[in-house]
A and B are shown apart, each in its own frame.
Chain A
Amino acid sequence: MIREVMTANKAVAEAARLAKPQVIPVYPITPQTTISEYLAQYVADEKIDAKYVKVESEHSAISAAVGASATGVRVFTATSSQGLMLMHEILFAAAGMRTPFVLADANRAISAPLNIWNDQQDSIAQRDAGWLQIYVENAQEALDTTLMAYKISENPKVLLPSMVCLDGFILTHTVEPVEIPDQEPVDEFLPPYKAEHAFLDPKNPMSIGNLADPDYYLEARHDMQVAMENSIEVIQQTCDEFAEIFGRKYGLVEPYKTEDAEIIFVAMGSLCSTIRVIVDQLREKGEKVGLLKIRAYRPFPVEAIDEAVKNCDKLAVIDKNVTFGIGGALYTDIKAKIHKDAYGFIAGLGGRDITPEAIFEVYEKTKNVPEKEVTWIGLKED
């Protein structure tokens, strides 16, 4: 094991190297670009024994990924923002064909207006594709989650692709110390992918990606729902196994000082680091407040959230996305499934800083009951 200062993009590339993918179809896009560059270098340097497929678009990248995965090999790809938008059609095919590969998404805002900075609208817009989505808070978590994502996706009870979502620039272009595991324990944790449902073998010909008429389609989609439900347990098991080998503990959610909290912030990704500092500062002033970090957004871990928020009065849900006409995606999911007073806050769209003051404002508003169910934080008014 070595400890090195690096960006989350490098951490993701290191995880991809350790996972030993055999095919890497990838197209560069800000702020994911350095992932594709690191991987190209690793393949050129023979640090990864993989076919690096240079494609002409993200639609091709994901199509090549699905095709490669359907032959029974391990596949890695990465993208961001408009690239993920262009992949949209094939994301559904990847899930429906049950190709269990991993995609890292460097979360970035969606055009128009054109904006390259961070929010989580790109991956949130793909939430119905049938992919697992895990949001990470820092570079170490990005590395660890990428490794775990393979083990979760390839589990025969799941067989759905995974998206590791890391905040663009905030994580992808800032450096922090990261522990890179040795190959040996990674191989122990993540043995080679043995495809049993779809693979290329001339002795066992099969047809993949078929037409399913109304007699079959409903069942095929239901199977995906069951797989997504199964993944809750598989994610937890995988996190436990990972902790045993590597000593770092993760879960579906990550509660912080929630046990006696009256108000709990709910958020995803790097924002949680800022909130944790504010929670400590508010605690010093005697405020009973906590944070619930959501790691797994799909599957939506209802039981784990229920358990973490059972003693609180109110939830302050901060979304770096918006589902126009209703509110933030995380907020609406919490409202649908968690029986607590919840208030939604839209913040940080298009890279607007979510400052400590913004978090204090969310707290004050939640404490005094906001005027509206969904409040936009930091709006400039003329």
Chain B
Amino acid sequence: MVNIGCVITTPGSSKNNKTGSWRTFKPILDKEKCIDCDNCIVFCPDSSVNKQHDIDYDYCKGCGICAHECPSDAIEMVKE
């Protein structure tokens, strides 16, 4: 059942859409190698990396930008 015209009347509901299910490759961070540059936080298009560099796998789509931008190769993309 959808609202007429697919109107969404509950703001903020996009967080109910767990886009992590789209992922094929999963970023794994090796905190030993991490130099706290925060590139992964800045470049993540889905705001799925927090200040402690924990990755939110509910929303991470596995695009791999964090791994690409990481200067110390601390993030590895591993097949799900």
**B is a partner of A:** yes
Q: Is B37 an interface residue (CB 8 A)?
A: no
Partner of A198, one of B1, B7, B11, B17: B7
Q: Which residues of the partner chain A approach B13 to less than 8 Å between Cβ atoms?
A: 207
- Please state if A223 and B8 are interface contacts (CB–CB under 8 Å): no
By a CB distance below 8 angstroms, the chain A residues around B8 are 206-208, 210
Partner of A159, one of B1, B2, B4, B11: B4
**Complex interface bits, A175-190 against B, C-beta within 8 A gives 1, otherwise 0:** 0000000000000000
Q: How far is the CB of A181 from chain B (nearest CB, A)?
A: 31
CA distance A213 to B17 in the complex (A): 10
Residue of B nearest to A212 (CB): B6
Is A20 engaged at the interface, CB distance under 8 Å to the other chain? no
CB pair B7 A197 closer than 8 Å: yes
Whether the Cβ atoms of A96 and B2 lie closer than 8 Å is no
Chain A 196-214: CB-based contact to B (< 8 A → 1; otherwise 0): 0110000011111110110
Is A98's CB under 8 angstroms from B4's CB?
Answer: yes
Bound state CA distance, A197 and B5, in angstroms?
Answer: 8
Q: Which residues of A sit under 8 angstroms from B7, Cβ to Cβ?
A: 197-198, 206-208, 210
Q: Which residues of A sit under 8 angstroms from B4, Cβ to Cβ?
A: 98, 159, 197-198, 223
Least distance between B45 CB and chain A CB atoms (Å) = 16
Q: Mark A105-125, 1 if CB is under 8 A from B, else 0.
A: 000000000000000000000
Taking CB atoms, residues of chain A closer than 8 Å to B1 are 219
What separation, in Å, do the CA atoms of A252 and B8 have in the docked complex?
34
Beta-carbon contacts of B15-40 to A below 8 Å, as 1s and 0s?
00100000000000000000000000
Choice from B6, B9, B11 contacting A220 with Cβ under 8 Å:
B6
Residues of A contacting B11 with CB < 8 Å?
Answer: 205-207
A96-B9 in contact (CB<8A): no
In the assembled complex, the Cα of A210 lies from the Cα of B5 at a distance in Å of 9
Task: Provide the residues of chain B in CB contact with A98, threshold 8 Å.
Answer: 4-5
The reply to whether A97 and B9 contact each other, CB–CB distance below 8 Å, is: no
A220: chain B residues at CB < 8 Å are: 2, 5-6
Cα of A159 to Cα of B3 in the assembled complex, Å: 12
Contact A210 B9 (CB under 8 A): no
A215 nearest in chain B by CB position: B2
Which chain A residue lies CB-closest to B1?
A219
Q: Which residue of A lies closest to B5 (CB)?
A: A98
Chain A 39-57 interface 0/1 with B at a Cβ cutoff of 8 Å (1 = within): 0000000000000000000
In whole angstroms, what is the CA distance A307 to B17 when docked?
A: 50
B2 is contacted by which of A206, A207, A209, A212 (Cβ under 8 Å)? A212
Please, which residues of chain B bring their CB within 8 A of the CB of A159? 4-5
Interface centre among A210, A212, A220 (most CB of B within 10 A): A210
A-B contact pairs, 24 of them (CB 8 A): A96-B5, A96-B6, A97-B5, A98-B4, A98-B5, A99-B5, A159-B5, A197-B3, A197-B4, A197-B5, A198-B4, A198-B5, A204-B9, A205-B11, A206-B8, A206-B9, A206-B11, A207-B7, A207-B11, A208-B5, A209-B6, A213-B17, A220-B5, A223-B4
Q: Which residues of A contact B (CB under 8 A)?
A: 96-99, 159, 197-198, 204-210, 212-213, 216, 219-220, 223
Top 4 A-B pairs, shortest CB-CB distance: A98-B5, A197-B4, A207-B8, A205-B11
Q: Other than the known A97-B6, A197-B5, A206-B7, what 7 A-B pairs have Cβ atoms closer than 8 Å?
A: A98-B5, A198-B7, A206-B8, A207-B7, A213-B17, A216-B6, A220-B2
